[in-house]
Copies of this chain bind each other. A is one copy, B any other.
Amino acid sequence: MHRIDIPRKSIYRLSIYQRCLAKLRENSVDTVSSEALAKAAGVKPTQLRKDLTYFGQFGTRGLGYNVEALVKIISEVLGHNRLQPVILVGAGNLGSALLRYGGFRKEGFEVIAAFDLAPRPQPGLGIPIYATSEMPQFIRTNQVKMAILTVPTSGAQAVTNQMVEAGIQAILNFSPTILDVPDHVVVNSVDLAVELENLSYFIR
C-alpha cells in the first residue's frame, strides 16, 4: 500500500470517524451520509469523502455509507482488527494514572505490562510493574510493537533508545521533549503543558 502519500492527518481523522461510527452502530443506525458523519466528527463532508477515498470507494451514491461495513474497513486500514499489546514505561503520577484510566481497552489496545526504574507494586491495577532493566527482554519475547512513554524528560531519550533497539515501532510520548528516533519508528507526542500554554494565547 502506498502509505507514504496519504496525509497523516487523514489517518488521524480515520480514528475519529471510527469512534463516531461506533456510536452510530450502538444506536442501530445502519446507513449514514457523509454529511451526517462529518458533522459528528467535526469536519466538512468533502473532507470526509476525500479521506475515505484514499483507501477505496466504500459508499453508495444516492444513499451513503453502510455503518457496519465502514467500521470494518477502517479497522482494517488502521491495522487494529485484533487486540494490540502495549507497554507503558514510567509508572509515576501520570503513568499510573493512565493505567488506571483504562480508556484504551475498549478501543482495541491492551496494556500488558508497565515498567519503572523503581517498581512499587500498585494495588488494584491489574497489570504487573517490572523494573525497566527487564523491558528489552519483555519487548522481544512478547513481540510488543507499541509503547506509552511517561518517564521524566531526563530519562526519555535513553529509554527510547532501548525500546527501539528491542523492537518498538510506535511510541505515544508524554515526556515534554523531542525524541530522536530512526525513520521506521513513529512518535506521537502529547505535551500537556504545551497544550495549555497554547490555549492561553487565545483568551483575551
The residues of A with any CB-CB pair to B shorter than 8 Å are 3, 11-12, 14-16, 18-19, 40-42, 77-80, 84, 86, 93-94, 96-98, 100-104, 107-109, 145-146, 148, 169-172, 176, 178, 186, 188, 190-204
Q: Are A198 and B202 in contact (CB under 8 A)?
A: no
Q: Are B93 and A102 in contact (CB under 8 A)?
A: yes
Q: Are B94 and A42 in contact (CB under 8 A)?
A: no
Q: Are A190 and B188 in contact (CB under 8 A)?
A: no
Known A169-B202, A186-B202, A203-B146; contact A12-B194, beta-carbon cutoff 8 A: yes
Q: Are A172 and B199 in contact (CB under 8 A)?
A: yes
Q: Are A97 and B101 in contact (CB under 8 A)?
A: yes
A-B pairs with the 3 shortest C-beta distances?
A97-B97, A42-B178, A170-B199
Q: Collect the chain B residues with CB atoms within 8 Å of residue A12's CB.
A: 194, 198
Q: Collect the chain B residues with CB atoms within 8 Å of residue A107's CB.
A: 193, 196-197
Q: Are A170 and B93 in contact (CB under 8 A)?
A: no
* Distance between A3 CB and nearest chain B CB, rounded to angstroms: 8
* Distance between A189 CB and nearest chain B CB, rounded to angstroms: 9
